[in-house]
Each structure stands twice: as structure tokens, then as C-alpha cells.
Structure 1
């Protein structure tokens, strides 16, 4: 199944986060809700409300496919965001 996931950056620390089915935010792409077009629009609206409450910044939809462990982003940029930094940062996991 191909669908959409909602992603943003957590305002507190800048971490890449993904919106779950329950409406929470997770740093694991595997926890992201894989949504159809109608569901995606509603989830993005809810994510934008979270941005208004200063929980996350710049939420948007990204295309993803169902994988064995959860959604897998389609676009290369989104795969990098999901995997983490590609350079060594102090205290950060490296992809």
C-alpha cells in the first residue's frame, strides 16, 4: 500500500518526528500512521494545530509505502530524515 505519513520537527529539540494513529508524535518512522488521501488531509490539519501550540514546526505530508516494520518513505530526502543525521553530531545517532 502506498499512502502518506505526516512528518515535522519537534520544536523542543529539532528532532524529526512522525504522527502516529493516536495523534502522538514519535521519532520512529515505524510508528507513523500510513494514511490514505482523506485521512492524510485530516491528520495534516491536526498536525498544523500542534504547530500552532508550538509542539512541532512545519508539518507536511510525505509519500510512503507499507514495509514489514511499518511505513517506509518513498523519497530519498525522507529516507534520510527518517534514518537520522548522516554526519556525526555530538550526542546524536548517525545513519
Structure 2
């Protein structure tokens, strides 16, 4: 019997890349209570227990199968000032945007407004 794949430590968020434009997107609960995607990492839905993480993994599988996103996976986060911040450099880097132009991308606030959804 094969062991189940190891899950990242909780709390965690789900991130992926939008299939059409390649931008990093984060799972969020929309106004109707359904899982959806946002480009704003501050709005990412945080899974604090196994059932919530399993729900995000099921959403990821459906979105991958529907060819809406690629490279969807859970990322362990720390809560800083009430917002989830990835613990690892690679994922933290993905939340910011181009590193060579701090005046562009998410770190400059380009294209992100509270509540913006994909």
C-alpha cells in the first residue's frame, strides 16, 4: 500500500498560475460562498485544518481538469498583520511580481484592488 503524499504544514493557502495569462492566482471564497480565484494574495483563503485543506485540494484538482489553472498547490503560510504570507522564498516571490522592477507588479500595487477577482 502506497503512503499518501505529504501535505504542507497548516495553515496553508492554494496558489496556481492562470492558464490564459500566467499570472499567479490564489483561491478565495467569492460573494456566493463558492471557491474562485483572485490575484490579490491578501485575500487568499487560509486553510487552518485538514478538511479545509482537502477542500482546497479538491478545488485545485477540478480547476486543473477544467484547464483554468496550472501548477496548483498548497503553500504553508504565516499570518502577519492578519494576512497570509508564504514561509518560503519561492512562493513569497510569486506574490510580489517582477524582482527587477519594484515599481511594477504586485509589490507596486499594479492591477490589484481590494476584492479583485480573476
Asked if structure 2 preserves the Cα contact closer than 8 Å seen for 1:20 and 1:31, the reply is yes
Any residues of structure 2 matched to 1:13-32 within 5 Å, and which? 13-22=21-30, 23-32=35-44
The corresponding residue for 2:66 is: 53
Asked if structure 2 preserves the Cα contact closer than 8 Å seen for 1:34 and 1:66, the reply is no
Shift of 1:42: 1.7
Shift of 1:61: 0.5
4+ aligned runs moved over 3 Å, structure 1: none
1:66 aligns with 2:74: no
Q: As a proportion of its length, which structure holds more strand?
A: 1
Asked if structure 2 preserves the Cα contact closer than 8 Å seen for 1:7 and 1:18, the reply is yes
Structure 2 gaps, min length 5: 1-9, 108-118
Structure 1 gaps, min length 5: none
Q: As a proportion of its length, which structure holds more helix?
A: 1
Q: Matched residues in 2 for 1:94 and 1:18: separation?
A: 13
Shift of 1:51: 1.2
**Cα root mean square deviation, aligned:** 1.7
TM-score, reference length from structure 2: 0.69
TM-score, reference length from structure 1: 0.84
